[in-house]
Structure 1
Amino acid sequence: MSKNTTAILDTFSLEQPTKEDGQGMWALAKKSSLDLNSAYKYIMMSEYFSETCVVAKERGEVVGFVTGFIQPEHPDVIFVWQVGVDSSQRGKGIASKMLNEIISRDVCKNVRYLEATITKDNEASQSLFKRLAREHNTSCEVDDCFPAEVFPEEGTKAEYTYRVGPLSK
């Protein structure tokens, strides 16, 4: 097992993604309720931002992923772009495990905050980030971020920033 893999069970692991994992991440996003980005985005995130992304695999197949990056203007913030968990794996705490995996990595040693944008109707993601704050005995602040009017598509919902932290190391 490589240093970039955390085994949870013999058949389950959390890993830094490789560009080959991008295809599985895209396929998972495509069959879920997530906003689907291009396949290129998942491959690119796996190649160039692998240290701040994670894939959950069961028997070698992608069953979950988190894509994120450390903001150049704010090196103490990791921004989580997307969290996806296969419907067969929901309720097992995989999303929380993946987020904790990322923030425990050396690349996040200076990270004090984790941020994501979430719509008002995405209760699962809201619960995930509030639970992460409780686990780390810190706060989860919610602020306006992207009002619906900034999006070009009719009917797009406003996004709110969920900021978890400060995280202690």
Structure 2
Amino acid sequence: MQHPAHPMRPDLPSLRKPVAKDGAEIWKLVRACRPLDENSMYCNLLQCDHFSDTCVVAELAGDVVGWVSAYVMPNEPDTLFVWQVAVSDAARGRGLGALMLQSILNRPQCKDVTRVQTTITADNEASWALFRKFGRLMGTDLDVTAYYTQALHFQERHKTEHLVTIPVSRQAALAA
């Protein structure tokens, strides 16, 4: 499903579901978007292939400039878990992250979703800004708790990941 760029705003990227051949370009995009954790190229390929219904690619002038990997949680079908959001320098400042999240929520695969969850380290200012903005668009505040901790889960090799929960309503998701 392709969402073409707005005819009056050629600076807005087009949004679409990923396909397997996008995996390598997405891997490159994520590598360029510090402080995001790099996955293997194979992981990104699988995300594009197996989870395409709940992931989105943004393109501008033929280049991949945005990516959201997400999935509906198998044991919680009312929850969309957002794994990663990446926006290239060339596409920042246009609200692309929130647009990509909204496009996923508007898909039939998310018809039962009533909340969005993600994890964010305390120092990832770009992710905090995006999800605060997205919460405002949904008309709600963020619920935040420490989730995967530096000591217990990461053996001091990674900073604590805070679980962020954002309630969403169908009306808010469709209107946003």
Is TM more than 0.5 here?
yes
**Could you say which residue in structure 1 is the equivalent of 2:25?**
24
Query: Please, which of 143, 147, 154 is the counterpart of residue 151 of structure 1?
Result: 154
**Could you say which residue in structure 2 is the equivalent of 1:6?**
3
User: What is the 5 A alignment of 1:127-138?
Assistant: 127-138=129-140
Deviations 1:71-101 (A, max 9, x none): 0110000000000000111111111110110
User: What is the 5 A alignment of 1:3-152?
Assistant: 4-9=1-6, 12-33=13-34, 34-149=36-151, 150-152=153-155
Q: Which runs of 5+ in 2 are unaligned?
A: 172-176
Note if contact 1:67-1:80 (Cα within 8 Å) is conserved in structure 2: yes
Deviations 1:51-88 (A, max 9, x none): 10000001221101000111011000000000000011
Amino acid at match of 1:15: R
Amino acid at match of 2:5: I
**Could you say which residue in structure 1 is the equivalent of 2:174?**
none
Q: Partners in 2 of 1:124 and 1:27 — Cα distance?
A: 19
Q: How far apart are residue 47 of structure 1 and its match?
A: 0.3
Q: How far apart are residue 126 of structure 1 and its match?
A: 1.0
Q: How far apart are residue 155 of structure 1 and its match?
A: 4.3
Bigger shift: residues 38-47 or 10-19 = 10-19
Note if contact 1:71-1:78 (Cα within 8 Å) is conserved in structure 2: yes
Q: Which runs of 5+ in 1 are unaligned?
A: none
Q: How far apart are residue 123 of structure 1 and its match?
A: 1.5
Deviations 1:11-45 (A, max 9, x none): 63100000011111001011220111000111000
Amino acid at match of 1:112: T
TM-score (norm 2): 0.89
Q: How far apart are residue 131 of structure 1 and its match?
A: 1.0
Q: Partners in 1 of 2:72 and 2:165 — Cα distance?
A: 14
3-state SS of 2:93 partner: coil
Q: Partners in 2 of 1:133 and 1:76 — Cα distance?
A: 17
Q: How far apart are residue 127 of structure 1 and its match?
A: 1.5
State, as a whole percentage, how many aligned pairs show the same letter: 36
Q: Partners in 1 of 2:170 and 2:6 — Cα distance?
A: 27
Q: How far apart are residue 102 of structure 1 and its match?
A: 0.5
3-state SS of 1:99 partner: helix
TM-score (norm 1): 0.93
Q: Partners in 1 of 2:3 and 2:145 — Cα distance?
A: 33
